């Protein structure tokens, strides 16, 4: 006989109840798959639903929390959004959203098109059509096999449909469809699925999965291959295209680390000749409004004023990418994210985007294109100067990648300028300016070949070029005057002369996580381990170290990634920078000698990395990375009562008009799975909440 027992969480040798976390309202940034602009209103779609801004991205509101949004379009006075579970319609400019399901039966909606009278949507099963503003839907796929629909394009009186089974055309308003088979194939090429469509004044464009762009000016009878090839690199699978006001725009979708990078192409002759810019991020859609160019991509929404040379600005996001660093200065939270700097003056209720007063796309001294990732890894401040370490790379055929922008500085935490003076040796792609610290009124940063310091964060000088000499990796700084700490190749070094000289403090000491007065804490990167040491602690400025025994956790759990002392207690969070790593946990204890651990992870069942803690106005905040839910800044709430409490948003603007239903089940590594007994599973629901479930069958 089987006995079924439902547990809210695994029972370890830890108290897992009583306290947890709630999400603040941002900062929002990251992959944007859908984009729609109407006047001053911009709506974006991401894996967390729909976001809205009416100030060009200075601040964003999460107006509808649901599953992944693939497309957003307008029809009459309606806004339509297609998701992986339903079609949503808003008739009040995005304030509220309702499911349009009559005739759809919960279809995944990948694309939407309107001819002003009829609405067409593409699903996993084919084409559906509505003639009554989405009130009812009829299946309209005669001639198309059951297949995924990728895109629509209306050209003249014809409708083109890109599917996983080929390119189809309808000449009778979607009643029937015919397959187009007249594509000239390059030698050795196997035709693949058409993914995106666009049209100009004279013809139709189609991008195939095999990185080929075709153009036809005779209604699809004949086709020309007009794929741009730059330095031997094509446009990549999943590229995006649009034609506006006589200009053809094409965003590539290449593997950035493979050496090709992503480019943004423009053509003024219908695609027969091209110019290009180097642009970070995979492109998903291209839009033109009021002489401004908007590209939704893996970096968020990037805006440029159309001119002979594009000046790109990251204006905002969908789901927050990664929040890498978090501090509180003068009652304001400042967050360094993969989309740049954000700040909040109301305890996280609203977040605003900092301004970068220099272009993210420039040209080097030899004409090489300089592109900006707009990632910020660290934020430091003395209350008057705000110093951030972004990454900005340039690319040439012979040099490869190199870092150009290593430092940004601001006197208000809002407007940043580049501050690279005397940073002349920065030339590493991966190991540059990810570590910084404020010590004895000096700002410090590192590159692959040395440590630099500056009292103003503008003019830099070499502090030390012997500790980091190109043969290893400096992974962390710490400061507790008069000692400056640095971790180099996992060994901890200390300096008492502002970084001029370093001496070894501890072998295999891990990264510096927290410093206060004479105390310093670092992590054991191999925890869990046989000794169960998770942290190292020194109360004499690093002269000697003591191991701190950790709680009992699963052997696959990640190591400690963040630490803080708050209200007489110690807190640490776990994490690893891998999307499909283990679930993050946060623990609280009151003694380093005999720790009595309490897990305080309520609200974090979908999260995998805790980046940093900070305190403000008597509250504890943390930057946390999640898999399916929005990343961002979380606030500690001692009143949450279970580790399985869903995410709670402060003053959320989200409108939910559907009943909660189970969307998918994933395992502890984030892989989609079916129900399994005696296994820890994560349930993901349609309202955006998650639940960690462990069902025991005896």
Task: Using pLDDT thresholds of 50, 70 and 90, give the confidence band for residue 28.
Answer: low
Question: Average pLDDT, stretch 431-450?
Answer: 77
Residue 189 DSSP symbol: P
Out of 350-364, 425-439, 661-675, least confident range: 425-439
Q: What residue numbers bound the domain in which 691 lies?
A: 1-27+559-651+676-698
Nearest to 78 by CA among 116, 22, 42: 116
Q: Which residue has the higher pLDDT, 145 or 262?
A: 145
Distances (CA, A) of 45 to 61, 109, 249, 353: 12, 13, 21, 19
* Same domain flag for 125 and 220: yes
Query: What's the start-to-end Cα distance of the chain, in Å?
Result: 8
Q: Is residue 634 part of a domain?
A: yes
Tell me the C-alpha distance between 35 and 285, whole Å: 7
Task: Using pLDDT thresholds of 50, 70 and 90, give the confidence band for residue 266.
Answer: confident
Q: What is the mean pLDDT of the chain?
A: 78
Q: Is 515 left (phi over 0), alpha (psi -120 to 50) or beta?
A: beta
* Same domain flag for 40 and 99: yes
Q: Does residue 365 surpass a pLDDT of 70?
A: no
What kind and span of H or E run contains 405? strand 400-405
Q: Which residue has the higher pLDDT, 698 or 221?
A: 221
* Same domain flag for 51 and 197: yes
> Would you state the pLDDT for residue 5?
29
Task: Using pLDDT thresholds of 50, 70 and 90, give the confidence band for residue 402.
Answer: very low
Q: Which residue has the higher pLDDT, 537 or 469?
A: 537
Q: Is residue 148 part of a domain?
A: yes
Question: Average pLDDT, stretch 114-120?
Answer: 95
Yes or no: say if 129 and 140 are a contact pair by the CB < 8 Å rule.
yes
* Same domain flag for 220 and 80: yes
Q: Does residue 74 surpass a pLDDT of 90?
A: yes
In this structure, how many other beta carbons lie within 10 angstroms of the beta carbon of residue 328?
17
> Would you state the pLDDT for residue 403?
42
Considering 300, 327, 345, which residue would you say is the last residue of a domain? 300
pTM value is 0.73
* Same domain flag for 144 and 237: yes
* Same domain flag for 118 and 217: yes
In this structure, how many other beta carbons lie within 10 angstroms of the beta carbon of residue 422?
13
> Would you state the pLDDT for residue 628?
62
Count: domains in the chain: 2
Q: Is residue 109 part of a domain?
A: yes
* Same domain flag for 10 and 104: no
> Would you state the pLDDT for residue 152?
96
At 351-361, the pLDDT tens digits run 888 887 665 54
Q: Is residue 343 part of a domain?
A: no
At 293-320, the pLDDT tens digits run 788 776 677 777 665 444 556 665 545 5
Please name every residue paired with 288 in a beta bridge, in sequence order, or none if there are none: 293
Question: Average pLDDT, stretch 98-116?
Answer: 91
Question: Average pLDDT, stretch 543-554?
Answer: 92
Q: Does residue 431 surpass a pLDDT of 70?
A: no
Q: Is residue 472 part of a domain?
A: no
> Would you state the pLDDT for residue 654?
31
**In CATH, what number is assigned to the domain containing residue 72?**
2.130.10.10
Please name every residue paired with 498 in a beta bridge, in sequence order, or none if there are none: none
* Same domain flag for 223 and 239: yes
* Same domain flag for 45 and 185: yes
> Would you state the pLDDT for residue 470?
55
In this structure, how many other beta carbons lie within 10 angstroms of the beta carbon of residue 268?
12
Q: Is residue 225 part of a domain?
A: yes
Length of the chain: 698
Question: Average pLDDT, stretch 571-582?
Answer: 74
> Would you state the pLDDT for residue 30?
62
* Same domain flag for 75 and 196: yes
* Same domain flag for 244 and 97: yes
> Would you state the pLDDT for residue 315?
62
Considering 250, 280, 300, which residue would you say is the last residue of a domain? 300
Out of 85-99, 454-468, 522-536, least confident range: 454-468
At 222-262, the pLDDT tens digits run 998 888 865 555 666 557 888 888 888 888 765 443 334 56
Considering 300, 331, 363, which residue would you say is the last residue of a domain? 300
Out of 74-83, 236-245, 310-319, 440-449, least confident range: 310-319
Residues 6+ apart with CB under 8 A from 386: 329, 334, 379, 380, 409, 410, 411, 412, 413, 416
Question: Average pLDDT, stretch 505-528?
Answer: 95
At 643-660, the pLDDT tens digits run 333 233 332 233 333 345
Q: Is residue 340 part of a domain?
A: no
Provide the percentage of residues in the chain whose pLDDT is more than 90: 35
DSSP assignment of 294-362 equals: EEEETTEEEEEE-SSS-EEEEEE-SS---EEEEEEETTEEEEEETTEEEEESSTTSS-EEPEE-S-SEE
Yes or no: say if 321 and 30 are a contact pair by the CB < 8 Å rule.
yes
Strands in 397-508 per DSSP E: 400-405, 408-410, 415-418, 436-439, 442-447, 450-454, 461-464, 474-480, 483-488, 491-495, 503-506
> Would you state the pLDDT for residue 362?
46
Q: Is residue 177 part of a domain?
A: yes
Q: Are strands 240-244 and 247-251 parallel, antiparallel or unpaired?
A: antiparallel
* Same domain flag for 44 and 16: no
Question: Average pLDDT, stretch 167-172?
Answer: 96
> Would you state the pLDDT for residue 681?
73
Calculate the CA 524 to chain-centre distance: 28
> Would you state the pLDDT for residue 8?
31
């Amino acid at each position: 006989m089987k006995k079924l027992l439902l547990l809210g969480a695994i029972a370890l040798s830890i108290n897992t109840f009583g306290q947890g976390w709630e999400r603040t309202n941002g900062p929002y940034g990251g992959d944007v798959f859908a984009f729609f602009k109407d006047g001053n209103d911009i709506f974006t779609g991401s894996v967390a639903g729909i976001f809205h801004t009416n100030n060009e991205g200075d601040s964003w509101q999460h107006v509808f929390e649901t599953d992944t949004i693939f497309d957003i379009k307008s029809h009459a006075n309606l806004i339509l959004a297609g998701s992986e579970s339903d079609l949503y319609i808003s008739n009040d400019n995005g304030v509220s959203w309702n499911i349009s399901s009559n005739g759809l039966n919960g279809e995944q909606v990948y694309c939407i098109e309107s001819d002003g009278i009829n609405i067409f949507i593409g699903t996993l099963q084919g084409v559906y059509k509505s003639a009554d503003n989405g009130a009812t839907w009829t299946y309209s796929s005669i001639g198309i096999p059951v297949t995924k629909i990728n895109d629509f394009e209306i050209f003249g009186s014809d409708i083109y449909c890109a599917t996983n089974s080929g390119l189809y055309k309808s000449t009778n308003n979607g009643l029937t469809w015919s397959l187009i088979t007249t594509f000239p194939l390059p030698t050795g090429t196997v035709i693949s699925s058409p993914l995106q469509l666009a049209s100009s004044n004279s013809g139709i464009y189609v991008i195939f999965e095999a990185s080929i762009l075709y153009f036809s000016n005779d209604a699809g009878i004949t086709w020309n291959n007009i794929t741009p090839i730059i330095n031997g690199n094509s446009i990549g699978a999943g590229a995006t295209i649009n034609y506006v006001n006589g200009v053809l725009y094409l965003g590539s979708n290449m593997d950035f680390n493979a050496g090709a990078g992503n480019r943004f192409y423009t053509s003024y002759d219908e695609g027969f000749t091209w110019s290009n810019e180097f642009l970070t991020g995979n492109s998903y859609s291209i839009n033109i409004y009021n002489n401004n160019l908007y590209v939704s991509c893996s970096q968020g929404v990037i805006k440029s004023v159309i001119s002979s040379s594009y000046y790109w600005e990251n204006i905002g996001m969908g789901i927050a990418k990664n929040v890498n660093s978090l501090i509180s200065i003068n009652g304001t939270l400042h967050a360094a994210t993969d989309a740049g700097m954000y700040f909040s003056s109301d305890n996280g209720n609203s977040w605003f985007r900092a301004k970068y007063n220099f272009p993210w796309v420039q040209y080097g001294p030899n004409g090489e294109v300089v592109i900006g990732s707009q990632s910020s890894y660290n934020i430091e401040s003395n209350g008057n100067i705000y110093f951030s370490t972004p990454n900005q790379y340039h690319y040439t055929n012979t040099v490869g990648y190199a870092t150009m922008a290593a430092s940004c500085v601001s006197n208000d935490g809002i407007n940043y300028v580049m501050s690279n003076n005397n940073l002349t040796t920065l030339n590493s792609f991966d190991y540059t300016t990810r570590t910084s610290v404020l010590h004895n009124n000096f700002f410090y940063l590192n590159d692959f070949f040395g440590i630099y310091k500056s009292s103003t964060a503008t003019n830099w000088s070499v502090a030390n070029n012997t500790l980091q000499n190109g043969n290893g990796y400096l992974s962390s700084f710490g400061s507790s005057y008069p000692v400056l700490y640095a971790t180099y190749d996992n060994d901890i070094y200390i300096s008492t002369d502002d970084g001029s000289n370093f001496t070894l403090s501890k072998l295999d000491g891990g990264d510096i996580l927290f410093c206060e007065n004479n105390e310093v804490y670092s992590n054991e990167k191999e925890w869990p381990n046989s000794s169960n040491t998770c942290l190292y602690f020194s109360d004499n400025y690093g002269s000697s170290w003591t191991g701190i025994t950790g709680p009992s956790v699963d052997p696959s759990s990640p190591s400690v990634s963040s630490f803080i002392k708050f209200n007489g207690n110690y807190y640490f969070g776990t994490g690893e920078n891998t999307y499909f790593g283990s679930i993050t946990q946060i623990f609280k204890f009151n003694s380093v000698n005999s720790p009595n651990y309490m897990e305080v992870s309520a609200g974090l069942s979908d999260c995998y990395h805790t980046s940093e803690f900070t305190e403000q106005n008597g509250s504890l905040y943390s930057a946390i990375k999640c898999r399916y839910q929005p990343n961002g800044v979380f606030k500690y709430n001692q009143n949450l009562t279970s580790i399985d409490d869903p995410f709670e948003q402060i003053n959320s603007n989200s409108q939910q008009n559907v009943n909660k239903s189970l969307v998918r089940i994933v395992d502890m590594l984030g892989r989609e799975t079916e129900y399994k007994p005696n296994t820890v599973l994560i349930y993901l629901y349609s309202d955006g909440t998650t639940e960690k479930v462990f069902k025991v069958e005896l």
